[in-house]
């Protein structure tokens, strides 16, 4: 083998290339470790030219910055993004490098719509459930109450929007919407009235029951004023009514068998 000059030349060239590659990589590694590339600035800005209302420097310093490792070249941008998305109120983060020692982090905040379930969590206008300071959310708006099985957040939010549009015709709106573990819908309106709508039989079930309630609602208000506590719309041919007035007789007249 040692008498094969061509093989020896190829072997020597390969070894030389390997050594050159190692030296080159060592030089690159030495260069990117220079102090000039140490991260000195992390600029945080709001998405869509908005202003950050709830995310503040102290929260970022305590929550996100301790998780950031590396310098301008070696910092893992995905890990940085994840670190910022653990900050309360942050819905989404994106990260870019800015030469020679900066990171630019763009944040999108949650906009709270209401509370979710009984665990003290919040739900956003986009149907995201998140954990944040409830008092801060209450400073922004009157929170509604939404609840449902795990994974039903966006379905409940969409149905709340439907209810809001439907009841606007009689100048009412939902204060709370519940989707039970048995997949039955109920809500509370801003006049204090509880409405039981039951389970969905087909695509028109909820709408038809709400329409039936809105048809008779003016008569109920004229007769009972503000004494209606709850209405059960799960009966195919009528409704069941509970009023703070005792022995009003309307419940027997309107209640029908065959609740669903």
Please say if the pLDDT value at position 148 is more than 50.
yes
> In terms of domains, do 162 and 80 share one?
no
Looking at the domain assignment, is residue 152 inside a domain?
A: yes
Looking at the domain assignment, is residue 182 inside a domain?
A: yes
- Give the domain extent around 216: 148-254
Q: Are 73 and 88 a contacting pair, CB within 8 Å?
A: no
Please say if the pLDDT value at position 121 is more than 80.
yes
Out of 56, 78, 109, pick the residue that ends a domain: 109
Looking at the domain assignment, is residue 125 inside a domain?
A: no
Q: Distances in Å between the alpha carbon of 6 and those of 11, 12, 13?
A: 9, 10, 11
Please say if the pLDDT value at position 175 is more than 50.
yes
- The pLDDT of residue 8: 64
Across the chain, mean pLDDT equals: 86
Looking at the domain assignment, is residue 133 inside a domain?
A: no
pLDDT in tens, 183-198: 999 999 999 999 999 9
Out of 52, 86, 109, pick the residue that ends a domain: 109
Q: Are 113 and 157 a contacting pair, CB within 8 Å?
A: yes
> In terms of domains, do 163 and 90 share one?
no
Q: Distances in Å between the alpha carbon of 19 and those of 8, 13, 28, 32, 74?
A: 16, 10, 14, 20, 24
> In terms of domains, do 154 and 249 share one?
yes
> In terms of domains, do 175 and 247 share one?
yes
- The pLDDT of residue 244: 77
Neighbours of 70 (CB within 10 A): 15
Q: Which of 6-20, 82-96, 150-164, 184-198 shows the lowest per-residue confidence on average (mean pLDDT)?
A: 6-20
> In terms of domains, do 235 and 153 share one?
yes
Q: How sure is the predictor about 255, in pLDDT bands with cuts at 50, 70 and 90?
A: very low
pLDDT in tens, 8-64: 667 766 776 676 667 566 655 655 555 666 899 999 999 987 889 999 999 999 999
CA 168 to chain centre: 25
Percent of the chain's residues with pLDDT above 70: 81
Please say if the pLDDT value at position 247 is more than 50.
no
Looking at the domain assignment, is residue 18 inside a domain?
A: no
Q: Are strands 174-179 and 144-147 parallel, antiparallel or unpaired?
A: parallel
Looking at the domain assignment, is residue 142 inside a domain?
A: no
- What CATH number should be reported for the domain holding residue 225? 3.40.50.11690
Looking at the domain assignment, is residue 32 inside a domain?
A: no
- The pLDDT of residue 248: 42
Q: Distance (Å, rounded) from C-alpha 50 to C-alpha 202?
A: 42
Which residues are 260's β-sheet partners?
A: none
Out of 52, 82, 109, pick the residue that ends a domain: 109
Please say if the pLDDT value at position 220 is more than 50.
yes
Q: Are 235 and 188 a contacting pair, CB within 8 Å?
A: no
Span 97-116, mean pLDDT? 96
Percent of the chain's residues with pLDDT above 90: 65
As for how many domains the chain has, the answer is: 2
- What CATH number should be reported for the domain holding residue 67? 3.10.20.310
Is pTM, for the whole model, over 0.85?
Answer: no
In a 10 Å sphere around its CB, with 0-12 CB exposed, 13-18 middle and 19+ buried, how is residue 49 labelled?
exposed
> In terms of domains, do 154 and 83 share one?
no
Please say if the pLDDT value at position 84 is more than 50.
yes
> In terms of domains, do 83 and 153 share one?
no
Looking at the domain assignment, is residue 185 inside a domain?
A: yes
């Amino acid at each position: 083998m040692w008498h094969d000059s061509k093989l020896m030349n190829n072997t020597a060239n390969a070894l030389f290339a390997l050594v050159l590659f190692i030296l080159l990589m060592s030089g690159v590694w030495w260069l990117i470790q220079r102090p000039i590339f140490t991260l000195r600035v992390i600029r945080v800005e709001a998405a869509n030219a908005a202003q950050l209302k709830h995310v503040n420097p102290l929260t970022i310093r305590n929550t996100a910055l301790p998780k950031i490792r590396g310098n301008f070249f070696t910092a893992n941008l995905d890990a940085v993004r994840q670190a910022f998305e653990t900050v309360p109120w942050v819905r989404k983060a994106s990260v870019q490098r800015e030469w020679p020692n900066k990171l630019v982090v763009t944040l999108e905040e949650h906009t709270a719509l209401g509370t979710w379930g009984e665990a003290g969590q919040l739900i956003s206008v986009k149907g995201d459930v998140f954990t944040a300071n409830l008092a801060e959310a209450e400073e922004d708006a009157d929170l509604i109450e939404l609840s449902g099985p795990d994974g039903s957040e966006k379905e409940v939010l969409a149905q709340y929007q439907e209810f809001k549009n439907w009841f606007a015709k009689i100048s009412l709106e939902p204060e709370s919407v519940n989707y039970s573990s048995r997949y039955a819908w109920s809500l509370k309106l801003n006049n204090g009235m509880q409405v039981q709508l039951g389970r969905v039989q087909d695509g028109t079930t909820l709408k038809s029951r709400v329409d039936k309630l809105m048809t008779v609602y003016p008569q109920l208000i004229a007769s009972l004023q503000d004494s209606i506590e709850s209405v059960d719309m799960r009966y195919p041919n009528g409704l069941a009514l509970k009023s703070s007035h005792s022995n009003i007789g309307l419940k027997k007249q309107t209640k029908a068998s065959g609740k669903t």
